[in-house]
Structure 1
Amino acid sequence: MESNTPEATFPEKRTWKTALWSLTKLLTVVVIIGVIIRGFLFTNYIVYGQSMMPTINDGERIIVNKLDYELVTPSRFDLIIFHATEESDYIKRIIGLPGDTIEYKNDILYINGKVQEETFLDDFKETHENGLFTDDFTLEQVTGESEIPEGYVFVLGDNRQNSVDSRHIGLVPIKEIVGKANITFWPLTNIRLLS
């Protein structure tokens, strides 16, 4: 005998499976987007050491924009992360660009023979008590080059008395730059834009 009642369905079970499938698809998309952003656009680093004090302190975490230098060329005074060795990346500030000559004399930076202000060092210089903040040198003395060749930059740490930088490791190939440091995000009390 046939029944006139409609066939029974289990909407709870179908809804639960649909929701699980939707959640799985959403999480997959989020993970893929996260991998793309982290791999190609942004990454984060922990800063070790005192070479960038007071701009960036030991143990702070920073966000690095990896895309910036795919679109524009590096600029003077940008804070960059670069591959210093196969095992280590450094954070330093670009001081010299291709074609520049550099000299420090009596704590004054000269680029292409002209005085260049470094206002980001003003507060740190005031607390420094031991003679020159940046020792005298010329580009040629520390790198053997009279001017920075194409494809390279000259970098210094902001803590000039405690920094391994182009004065020691030489010029940095632009192709070794990972990206531009934009923001400190940890500890939370120190969140700020970097300049």
Structure 2
Amino acid sequence: MEQMGNGRAPAKKSPLREIVESLIIAVVLAVLIRMFVLQPFYIPSGSMEPTLMINDRIIVSKISYRLHQPEQGDIVVFKYPKDTKRDFVKRLIAKGGDTVEIRDNKLYINNKLVPEKYLPEGLVMKGDYGPEQVPEGSYFMMGDNRNNSDDSRTWGFLPKELVIGKAVVLYWPLQHMRIISDGK
């Protein structure tokens, strides 16, 4: 047995103390992971159908956008600009400097038609929008269920500082479990 500097063997911890220390470490790690790395979210509305359904549960990477900038097509969780106590999930349609237009049921970014394979089959969007240029440091967000989505068309552009993270995994219900793609 290895001796300590004072010539005595190290004192053995009680089983209860080891359990308590392990629990404290686990709780601290869980809190740190949730604060800075990954966080679960619940989908309360149908604004992202058919991509995300009501009652789906997703994991959001809070670190993704510290490593790279959000991209067109990403599904993003953010603080709602009109009430930052509420979290929203929408698809990033355009970034600062881009010009957005919806004309004749089609999305155009910088005058180029954007194919949107993730939209419900046969969707006919109500109304036109734009053209509007997205300010630098902001994003234009839309739900996939375009006619039932409270999004940038009604509340404006999303400031970059309200972004929480990127939706990466749908984990509940189990039959829907999958990696969430960017829709491209």
TM-score range, shorter chain: 0.7 to 0.9
2:33 and 2:85 mapped to 1: Cα distance? 23
Q: Which amino acid aligns with 2:140?
A: F
Which structure 2 residues correspond to residues 22-171 of structure 1 after superposition, within 5 A?
Answer: 22-84=18-80, 85-121=83-119, 124-126=120-122, 128=123, 132-133=124-125, 135-140=127-132, 147-171=133-157
- Do the aligned residues in 2 keep the contact of 1:110 with 1:116 (CA within 8 Å)? yes
- Which runs of at least 4 in structure 1 moved beyond 3 Å after TM superposition? none
Letter in 1 for 2:156: G
Query: Over aligned residue pairs, what C-alpha RMSD do you find?
Result: 1.6
SS in 2 for 1:125: coil
Cα offset, 1:193, TM superposition: 1.3
Alignment gaps of 5+ in structure 2: 1-10
Q: Distance in 2 between matches of 1:74 and 1:134?
A: 27
Q: 1:80 and 1:70, CA in 2 relative to 1: closer, same or farther beyond 3 A?
A: same
- List per-residue Cα deviations over 1:109-159 (Å, max 9, x = no partner): 1111111111111xx123x4xxx235322143xxxxxx1111100000000
How many pairs are equivalent? 169
Higher helix share: 1
Q: Which moved more, 1:157-166 or 1:80-89?
A: 80-89
1:4 matched residue in structure 2: none
Cα distance in 2, alignment partners of residues 149 and 160 from structure 1: 22
CA displacement 1:40-89 (0-9 Å, x = unmatched): 11111111111000000111111111111112111001101111113311
Deviations 1:165-192 (A, max 9, x none): 0000100001100111111111122111
Q: Which amino acid aligns with 2:129?
A: F
Report the residue type matching 1:39 in the other structure. M
Whether the 8 Å contact between 1:125 and 1:133 is mirrored in structure 2 is no
Answer yes or no: is 1:178 the counterpart of 2:176: no
TM-score, normalised on structure 2? 0.86
- Mapped partners of 1:162, 1:68: distance in 2: 28
2:3 counterpart residue number:
none
How far is 1:23 from its partner?
2.1
